[in-house]
């Protein structure tokens, strides 16, 4: 095998989150999710595992550089519960892609923990794609997506959607439509720099827990609770309109719909918004922003702030600080997973 380094962005979900949770897409007339790749990369390095006598066969070492945790196991088949939670996904990735072991996987992330930006999914997808190249068995990116979603679902023992894996692997601004047999992936013709100038991203400082929130929404939806059923139908309709507006190059219309989707999401189920998120929304609107939208499943994490045009209102920065938010630079990127050898 060879030493390989992979890099993948995270995502901002513009509209249509939650309706990508299987099997919800198959219960709606149209289930389109729109998102965009954000340059807060996950970076994974895969290298031969060396010992005193040369390369070590079978063993696996996994390391989270962020958590400063390293674990070494006898084989990729080791029970993930025997290692620290911060490296369990990495061990699962090795078991799925390179079960023969004899390698080390070292990973770092840029996205804050629990930010609602799909950071763990980006890390997992990056790890699996990088591992495939390192052991000489690269997989098509759509295969990586399916495997990563299955692995993360098994690990979390909770629902996962498909949208979190696409921007890390494919990049750009995407419309993802769930259909029988798979997901239709449409790159949208969006000026990413222009879109980025209209967006601000704020981390609330409170990590969210998407598995719990997603399960609550899914249970309410399939139990037929009217508030959740109606909200998801509205979200599906608005998200499809966001995709149409972006195809037509109408950024004003698309972003107004993003804010509208955010308002629907807040009333979809308990826990999507929080007092901190509500205060942030009020503060930025008072400062002149168009509005906000929670990222991911909500309940904490990041909030997307949408501007009326590409000029930031003079009082916006102080409004963000007063609400306790931590701004994150918005750099939207066309590139998904990328590879570099020996870095």
Q: Are residues 169 and 30 in the same domain?
A: yes
CA distances from 47 to 51, 73, 74 (A): 12, 16, 17
Beta bridge partners of 173: 36
Q: Are residues 47 and 152 in the same domain?
A: yes
Contacts of 187 (CB under 8 A, 6+ apart): 170, 172, 173, 174
Q: State the CB neighbour count (10 A cutoff) for residue 166.
A: 26
Please report the pLDDT score of residue 259 as a whole number.
97
Please report the pLDDT score of residue 297 as a whole number.
72
pLDDT in tens, 30-72: 999 999 999 999 999 999 998 755 667 899 999 999 999 999 9
- Residue 23, preceding bond cis, omega within 30 degrees? yes
Please report the pLDDT score of residue 247 as a whole number.
97
Q: Are residues 183 and 284 in the same domain?
A: no
Please report the pLDDT score of residue 230 as a whole number.
93
CATH number of the domain bearing residue 167: 3.30.230.10
Residue 323 above 80 pLDDT? no
Residue 219 above 70 pLDDT? yes
Q: Are residues 241 and 260 in the same domain?
A: yes
pLDDT in tens, 232-257: 999 999 999 999 999 999 999 999 99
Give the predicted TM-score (pTM) of the model. Answer: 0.92
Q: How confident is the model at residue 296 (pLDDT cuts 50, 70, 90)?
A: confident
Counting Cα atoms < 13 Å in the Cβ hemisphere of 150 gives 11
pLDDT in tens, 134-174: 999 999 999 999 999 999 999 888 888 999 999 999 999 99
The 3-state secondary structure of the chain, one letter per residue:
CCCEEEEEEEEEEEECCCCCECCHHHHCCCCEEEEEEEEEEEEEEEEECEECCEECCCCEEEEECCCCEEEEECCCCCCHHHCCHHHHHHHHHHHHHCCCCCEEEEEEECCCCCCCCCHHHHHHHHHHHHHHHHCCCCCCHHHHHHHHHHHHHHHHCCCCECHHHHHHHHCCEEEEEEECCEEEEEECCCCHHHHHHCEEEEECCCCCCHHHHHHHHHHHHHCCCHHHHHHHHHHHHHHHHHHHHHHCCCHHHHHHHHHHHHHHHHCCCCCCCCHHHHHHHHHHHHCCCCEEEECCCCCCCEEEEECCCCCCCCCHHHHHHHCCCEEECCCECCCCCEEEECC
* Average pLDDT for 305-313: 93
Please report the pLDDT score of residue 266 as a whole number.
83
CATH number of the domain bearing residue 259: 3.30.70.890
Please report the pLDDT score of residue 19 as a whole number.
94
Q: Are residues 182 and 254 in the same domain?
A: no
Separation CA 333–CA 343 (nearest Å)? 21
Full strand arrangement of the beta sheet holding 291-294: 291-294, 302-306, 199-203, 326-328
Q: Are residues 157 and 275 in the same domain?
A: no
Q: Are residues 154 and 214 in the same domain?
A: no
Q: Are residues 31 and 142 in the same domain?
A: yes
Q: Are residues 153 and 69 in the same domain?
A: yes
Please report the pLDDT score of residue 205 as a whole number.
74
* Average pLDDT for 300-312: 90
Q: Are residues 283 and 174 in the same domain?
A: no
Q: Are residues 161 and 196 in the same domain?
A: no
Domain membership of residue 139 as a residue range: 4-188+333-341
Q: Which tokens go with 273?
A: 């918004």
Tally of structural domains, the chain: 2
pLDDT in tens, 22-35: 999 999 999 999 99
Please report the pLDDT score of residue 343 as a whole number.
46
Q: How confident is the model at residue 268 (pLDDT cuts 50, 70, 90)?
A: confident
Residue 324 above 60 pLDDT? yes
Q: How confident is the model at residue 209 (pLDDT cuts 50, 70, 90)?
A: low
Please report the pLDDT score of residue 206 as a whole number.
67
Q: Are residues 175 and 196 in the same domain?
A: no
């Amino acid at each position: 095998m060879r030493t390989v380094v992979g890099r993948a962005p995270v995502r901002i979900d513009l509209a249509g989150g939650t309706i990508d949770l299987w099997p919800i897409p198959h219960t709606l007339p149209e289930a389109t999710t729109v998102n965009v790749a954000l340059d807060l990369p996950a970076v994974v390095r895969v290298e031969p595992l060396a010992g005193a006598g040369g390369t070590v066969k079978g063993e696996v070492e996994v390391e989270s550089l962020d958590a400063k945790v390293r674990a070494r196991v006898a084989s990729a088949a080791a029970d993930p519960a025997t290692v620290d939670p911060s490296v369990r996904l990495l061990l699962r990735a090795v078991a799925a892609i390179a079960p023969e072991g004899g390698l080390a996987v070292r990973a770092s992330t840029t996205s804050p923990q629990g930010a609602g930006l799909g950071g763990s999914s980006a890390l997992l997808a990056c790890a699996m794609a990088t591992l495939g190249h390192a052991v000489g068995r690269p997989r098509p990116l759509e295969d990586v997506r399916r495997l990563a979603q299955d692995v993360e679902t098994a690990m979390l023992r909770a629902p996962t959607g498909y949208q979190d894996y696409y921007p890390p692997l494919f990049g750009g601004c995407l419309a993802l439509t769930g259909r029988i047999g798979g997901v239709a992936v449409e790159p949208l013709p969006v000026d990413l720099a222009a879109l980025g100038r209209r967006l601000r991203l704020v981390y609330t400082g409170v990590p969210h827990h998407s598995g719990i929130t997603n399960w609550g929404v899914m249970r309410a939806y399939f139990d037929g609770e009217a508030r959740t059923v109606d909200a998801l139908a509205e979200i599906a309709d608005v998200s499809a309109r966001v995709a149409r507006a972006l195809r037509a190059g109408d950024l004003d219309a698309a972003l107004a719909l993003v804010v509208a989707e955010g308002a629907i999401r807040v009333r979809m189920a308990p826990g999507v918004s929080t007092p901190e998120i509500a205060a942030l929304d009020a503060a930025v609107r008072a400062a002149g922003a168009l509005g906000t939208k929670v990222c991911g499943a909500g309940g904490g994490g990041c909030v997307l702030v949408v501007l009326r045009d590409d000029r930031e209102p003079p009082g916006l920065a102080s409004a963000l600080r007063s609400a306790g938010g931590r701004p994150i630079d918005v750099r939207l990127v066309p590139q998904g997973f990328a590879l570099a050898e020996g870095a």
